[in-house]
Amino acid sequence: MMHNLVHPGEVIYEDVLSELEISVAEAARSLGVSRVALSRVPHGHAAVSPNFAIRFELAGIGTAKLWLDMQTAYDLAQIREDGLPDVKKLVQL
């Protein structure tokens, strides 16, 4: 099911950093974050947080809402892929 959905960090790496020929270290300096913190996102080891999303927006890389929507879609797809929890309905329609 998730085969078409990529982690937003991959988009940052492929479509932003690689396209602009900017290293993670250089981008981290521009964004005002540590290289280690930023490098976790493009490698899929960390989610795009609201903090990173607003920094990307301020740097001219899309909108914060776009990045957070992409992360939410990825997270929901991952949960569905891993298997939904056994939950009983609170309201019967």
pLDDT recorded at residue 88: 92
8 A C-beta contact, residue 10 and residue 44: yes
In this prediction the pTM is 0.85
Q: Cα(58)–Cα(61) distance, rounded to whole angstroms?
A: 7
Query: Which segments in the chain show pLDDT lower than 70?
Result: 1-3
- Residue 29 region by backbone torsions, left for phi larger than 0, else alpha for psi between -120 and 50, else beta: alpha
- C-beta neighbour count of 81 within 10 angstroms: 12
Tokens of 52: 């990173």
- Give Cβ neighbours of residue 25 (< 8 Å, ≥ 6 apart): 35
Q: What per-residue confidence (pLDDT) applies to 28?
A: 98
Q: What is the pLDDT of residue 3?
A: 60
Q: What is the model's pLDDT at position 25?
A: 97
Rounded to whole angstroms, how far apart are CA atoms 82 and 87?
A: 15
Domains of the chain by range and CATH?
2-81 (1.10.260.40)
| pLDDT for the residue numbered 87 | 92
